[in-house]
């Protein structure tokens, strides 16, 4: 090292700031003391449909938007939709992610969580994928089929999960890739 050469100190990875800690006082917010209201009678046909094994969406007559699960208010037209339409059991993946949440058992394997768009509907519902599907095979636009729960109770999750269907577009893509 020569005299007069500038010595460059290595910059730290992370500049940390420290502050004197002062006292803290406890305060609580009890979320559990809240009640949340939801009048189930408004979506009776939908729940009945689930119990009997068919899927109903709610269609707004004014803008033709179909919501599944039903939304009681159409924000685009500011009306209450009232036309129930039957939807097929097939769906597509609109969006997906994997949860690496620190679960007790499944710490290693990511749990796929998908946003399902029921065919014929214009809305997305967060749902589960069938358990034996590898997360890496999931892609956006993947076709799915609803799998019913063993026991249907007329409740939200009578559709237990979704399982992948064979995608005809896949073969086309493969051919394209070969070319």
Partner 1 sequence: MDKFYDGLENKKFIASKCSKCGKVFLPPRKTCGDCFAKAAEEFVELPETGTVKNFTVANYRVSERRERKLKEPIIIGLVQVDGADTAMISEVLNIKPDDMKEGMKVKVVWADRIKGHPKDIKGFEPIGGE
Partner 2 sequence: MAKVQPAIISSGFSEHASKRSDVNMAELVNEAVENCIQMANIDWKDIDFVINGNMPAFEGANMPELWMGDHIAAKNKPMLRVTTGGTTGGSVTIAGYYAVASGLYETVLAIGFEQQSCGDTAIGLASVALGEVTIYPDVGYDFARMRSNLGAGAAIGVASYQAMNYMARSKATEEDLARVVVQNRRNAAKTWWTHLKMPTITIEDVLDTPYISYPLRFGMVCPATDGACAILYTTEEKARQIADIPVYVNGVASVANEPAILAPNMGGAGQVDPCEQLGAMKSAELAYGQAGISFPNKEIDYVEVYSPFPNQELMWVERLGLFEENMAPEAYRNGITAWNGELPVNCSGGVNSTNAIGASAMERPAEAALQIMGKASNQVPKTVHTAMGHGWGGAINFITHVVMSDEPQRKWR
Partner 3 sequence: MEKVGIVGYYQVKPDLDAMMSPPEMIFNAVRGALDSAGLKRKDISTVIGCTNDYYDGKTISNAFKVDAGGAYMKDESKVEFDGAHAALYGVFRILSGNHKLAMIYGYSMPSCFNYEAVRILELDPTFDRTVSLLNSYSAGGMQMRAYMKKFNVSLEDIAKVAVNSIKNAAKNPSALPEAQRSDISVGDVLESEILCSPLRKLMYPILCDGTAAIILAPEKQSLKITDNPVWITGVGNCQDTYYLGERDLSISTSMEIAANKAYKIAGINDPKKEIDIAEIFGHTTCEDLILAEAAGLCEKGNGTSLLDGGPALNPSGGTMSGLTPCVCGLTRIIEAVKQLRGEATGYQISGAKKAVATGQVGFCAQNNILYVLEGGGN
Interface ranges with partner 3 (CB under 8 A): 25-27, 29, 31, 33-39, 42, 71-80
**Minimum CB separation from partner 2 for residue 94, in Å?**
5
* 83/60 Cα distance (integer angstroms): 7
Among partner 3, partner 2, partner 1, none, the one that 88 touches (CB under a kind-dependent 5 to 8 A) is none
Residue 20 near partner 2 by CB under 8 A: yes
Angle CA(127)–CA(130)–CA(133) in degrees, nearest 5?
Answer: 120
* 145/11 Cα distance (integer angstroms): 54
- Best CA proximity match to 82, nearest among 66, 65, 60: 60
Residues that bind partner 1 (CB under 8 A): 22-23, 25, 27-30, 33
* 46/55 Cα distance (integer angstroms): 7
* 32/73 Cα distance (integer angstroms): 27
Residue 147 near partner 2 by CB under 8 A: no
Nearer to partner 1, 22 or 39 (CB): 22
Among partner 3, partner 2, partner 1, none, the one that 91 touches (CB under a kind-dependent 5 to 8 A) is none
Sheet containing 83-87: give its strands across. Answer: 66-67, 55-59, 83-87
Residue 108 near partner 2 by CB under 8 A: no
Among partner 2, partner 3, partner 1, none, the one that 133 touches (CB under a kind-dependent 5 to 8 A) is none
- Best CA proximity match to 157, nearest among 46, 83, 57, 60: 46
Residue 177 near partner 2 by CB under 8 A: no
Nearer to partner 1, 18 or 108 (CB): 18
* 27/22 Cα distance (integer angstroms): 16
Residue 178 near partner 2 by CB under 8 A: no
* 136/158 Cα distance (integer angstroms): 27
Rule CB under 8 A: which residues touch partner 2? Answer: 10-15, 17, 19-22, 24, 27-29, 31-32, 34-38, 40, 47, 67-73, 75, 94-101, 103, 110-111, 113, 115, 117, 121-128, 135, 139-140, 153, 155-158
């Amino acid at each position: 090292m020569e005299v007069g050469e500038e010595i460059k100190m290595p910059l730290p990875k992370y500049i940390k700031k420290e502050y004197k800690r002062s006292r803290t006082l406890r305060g609580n917010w009890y979320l559990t003391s809240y009640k949340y209201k939801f009048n189930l009678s408004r979506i009776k046909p939908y729940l009945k449909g689930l119990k009997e094994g068919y899927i109903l969406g709610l269609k707004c007559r004014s803008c033709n938007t179909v919501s599944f699960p039903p939304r009681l208010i159409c924000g685009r037209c500011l009306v209450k939709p009232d036309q129930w339409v039957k939807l097929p059991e097939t769906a597509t993946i609109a969006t997906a992610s994997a949860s690496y949440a620190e679960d007790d058992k499944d710490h290693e394997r990511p749990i796929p969580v998908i946003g399902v768009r029921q065919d014929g509907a214009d809305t997305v519902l967060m749902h589960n994928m069938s358990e034996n599907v590898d997360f890496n095979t999931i892609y956006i636009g993947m076709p799915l089929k609803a799998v019913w729960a063993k026991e249907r109770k007329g409740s939200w999750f009578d559709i237990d999960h979704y399982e992948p269907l064979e995608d005809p577009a896949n073969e086309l893509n493969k051919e394209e890739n070969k070319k």
